Amino acid sequence: MKVAFFLVVFSSVLVFADQIEEIRALYSGVMGEIEKGNYYKTTTVINSDNASYPAVGIYFENIDFYWEIDIEFSFEPSVRFVKINSQYSAIEEYHEFLYYDTGDLAFVYRKAGIMREIERFYFNRAGELIRFVRGDEIFELSDGDLTNLTEEVLKRGTNLAESFSLIH
């Protein structure tokens, strides 16, 4: 019985490890394509004239969408990567959103908040969180506190992809 339990746990760890490696390879590939200039880029700037926001002061958001066109099947634009630089008062934030070729969210990198903590979210192709890392600490996926955070990140990633679709 203990051996069977161990094999189930060990095999699920291997599956997660394979999925994490797939996401890392996807990230490297997309970043390489961006560096080569092989993706289109659309930039959206929020509050481009730097007008002061009430009770906030400085508010600025620069959103870069990197995308491609599927010329083999649909000729539809597909977002592959989104980079966001933001400033809210004295707080600077940086986000990266990586998408699978299906348009589903694969990975999110956030450096946000007053402490500028680094967070990384890894999602499988079914949209399920498979790993969450804050700083150097890997969190258990069974932690109920991750549900709201995961939903927030998924919603932001989905909203960005939908916003991109409205532009193109």
Q: Would you place residue 25 in the very low, low, confident or very high pLDDT band (cuts 50, 70, 90)? A: very high
DSSP secondary-structure letter at 127? S
Predicted local confidence at residue 144, as pLDDT: 63
Tokens of 117: 């903590």
> Is residue 160 over pLDDT 50?
yes
Which has the higher per-residue pLDDT, 2 or 98? Answer: 98
User: Of 139, 133, 26, nearest to 80 (Cα)?
Assistant: 26
> Is residue 8 over pLDDT 50?
no
Q: What phi-psi label fits residue 131: left (phi over 0), alpha (psi between -120 and 50 degrees) or beta?
A: beta
Average pLDDT for residues 136-154, to the nearest whole number? 82
Average pLDDT for residues 53-63, to the nearest whole number? 82
pTM score of the predicted model: 0.85
Sequence-distant (≥ 6) Cβ neighbours of residue 16 within 8 angstroms:
130, 131
> Is residue 29 over pLDDT 50?
yes
Mean confidence (pLDDT) of the chain: 86
User: Of 93, 64, 102, nearest to 81 (Cα)?
Assistant: 64
> Is residue 72 over pLDDT 60?
yes
> Is residue 4 over pLDDT 60?
no
Sorted by where each begins, the domain ranges of the chain are 2-167
Q: Would you place residue 34 in the very low, low, confident or very high pLDDT band (cuts 50, 70, 90)? A: very high
Q: Using a pLDDT cut of 90, give the percent of the chain over it.
A: 58
